[in-house]
Amino acid sequence: MTAGASGGVDPVIAGNGAQRLSWREIPPHIRAGLEERFGSSVVDAVSQPGGFSPGFASRLTLTDGRRVFVKAVSGAQNRESPAIYRQEARYAAALPAEVPAPRLLWTFDDDDWVALAFEDIEGRPPSLPWQPDELGRVLEAIAALPAALTPPPFEAPTLGDAFARAFSGWRRLATKERERAVELDPWAQANLDRLAELEVTWQAGAGGGTLLHSDLRADNILLTSERVYIVDWPWVRTGPAWADLLFMLPSVAMQGGGDPEEIFVTHAIAKDAPREAANAMLAGLTGYFLRSALQPAPPGLPALRLFQKAQGDAALAWLRRRLGW
């Protein structure tokens, strides 16, 4: 896995908001444990800046010439990240071969540090601002995912259950956190109660029989000359196939990829999405982004709130257009 250029896009907006550890910053006993699993020593480590996971993420070259991508974290970087990595390991190991994702090679877990080793992909993230040809390739890859993931090849939480609390941002801002609503866009302030009422309905349209990535963004995608790879699968859920595209499009819009509405209504997996269900889910997503952006930054993730705010602003503009309020 390799890092890619983001052109003139701000690093935060490009999704390069992680505080990465270098190979030498990993405790010696952990490095030794990893090299034992490799059966070889590390001679070179190239850090990968994309994404918002704290800890270590590097392409490693070994003394025997092999290359491997390794991500590793402990509770010292972020107390929630080890559990997220364990969850990712379970899902990554179970993905069907047809899914364009790097193959999980092995895991390392000493109850503090968790490391995941993946096959190394000679690829790069999409160029930002988005280029039409690259966006077209990614949209085609997303259109092909349901064929491999419907019905779900393994059990995973439903979207409605897993995101029930996350997608309650408007309701919390309209009730217990009303004083924080003054920081919202004026249109959102004026329509806060209506947005909260719409958000209540999102779970009703969240059912579906497709396994979802649920966190598609440019920094979770790698391009090679022949294939589009989708990486980082800790948030696997089940729901309607069009949800993955809907979740991705605010980031596409903020990163110069064009009109999210035009992409959504013409895409193979979303053109028949029920309008009311899509509006309610988009409302839930928008409320999640904008309320989250008002919270303190989590440890090890100083740029996350800025990234959420940028996505929330793009999602709000799209939602406002769809609702016509």
pLDDT in tens, 55-108: 899 999 999 999 999 999 999 988 999 999 999 999 999 999 999 999 999 999
Amino acid identity, residue 164?
A
pTM higher than 0.85 for the full model? yes
CA end-to-end distance (rounded Å), the chain: 44
Q: What is the pLDDT of residue 17?
A: 58
User: pLDDT for 96-151, tens place per residue?
Assistant: 999 999 999 999 999 999 999 999 999 999 999 999 999 999 999 999 999 999 99
Distances (CA, A) of 111 to 38, 75, 79: 20, 10, 12
Confidence of residue 298 (pLDDT cuts 50, 70, 90): confident
User: pLDDT for 2-41, tens place per residue?
Assistant: 444 455 567 667 766 567 899 999 999 999 999 999 999 9
Structural domains in the chain, sorted by start: 20-119 (3.30.200.20), 132-323 (3.90.1200.10)
**Which position has the higher pLDDT, 297 or 196?**
196
Using CA atoms in the order 24, 25, 29, 30, what is the torsion angle rounded to 10 degrees? -100
Q: Would the pLDDT of 253 be above 90?
A: yes
Amino acid identity, residue 266?
T
CA distance 241 to 146: 6
CA distance 160 to 240: 11
Average pLDDT over every residue of 250-259:
96
Distances (CA, A) of 236 to 73, 82, 215, 221, 268: 20, 16, 9, 16, 21
